[in-house]
Amino acid sequence: AYAVTDNCIRCKYTDCVEVCPVDCFYVGETMLVINPDECIDCGVCEPECPADAIKPDTEPGLEGWLALNAKYAALWPNISEKLDPLSDAAEWDGRTGKLETVFG
């Protein structure tokens, strides 16, 4: 499966949702997540993210993000249509440790 990671937080560009063939993105206030059980590993969303936030589970150290994606996919509503990015997306793009700013 693929997972949405740190750099989505406070950017939330949502380009990813338009290309997913199985509509397995879920939307929270500051980020999106992928339901890893629904993701078919097609990989088309990865290059669509302007923030480079989508990673495959073959990437080392992704376990925590996969768990976070699975957890919130069960709680948040599905999203399949693009929204406007968050207003300060450009300012947050590329910062590190964004997870702590929302869930910490």
Residue numbers at the binding site for ligand SF4 (CB under 6 A): 2, 19-20, 22, 24, 34, 39-45
- Residue 63 C-beta: closest distance to ligand F3S, Å: 18
Residue 15 interacting entry, from ligand F3S, ligand SF4, none, C-beta within 5 to 8 Å by type: ligand F3S
| CA–CA dist 101, 88 (Å, integer) | 14
Distance CA 22, CA 63 (A): 22
Using CB under 6 A as the binding rule, whether residue 54 contacts ligand F3S is answered as yes
Do residues 10 and 92 touch, judged by C-beta distance below 8 A? yes
Task: State which amino acid sits at residue 91.
Answer: E
Q: Can you tell me which of 3, 24, 53, 68 binds ligand F3S, judged by CB under 6 A?
A: 53
Q: Which does 43 bind (CB under 5 to 8 A by kind): ligand F3S, ligand SF4, none?
A: ligand SF4
CA 8 to chain centre: 6
Least distance CB 89 / ligand SF4 (angstroms):
20
Q: Cβ distance 81 to 12 under 8 Å? A: no
Considering only residues 14 through 33, tell me which ones interact with ligand F3S, judged by CB under 6 A.
14-16, 32
User: Contact 70/35 with Cβ under 8 angstroms?
Assistant: yes
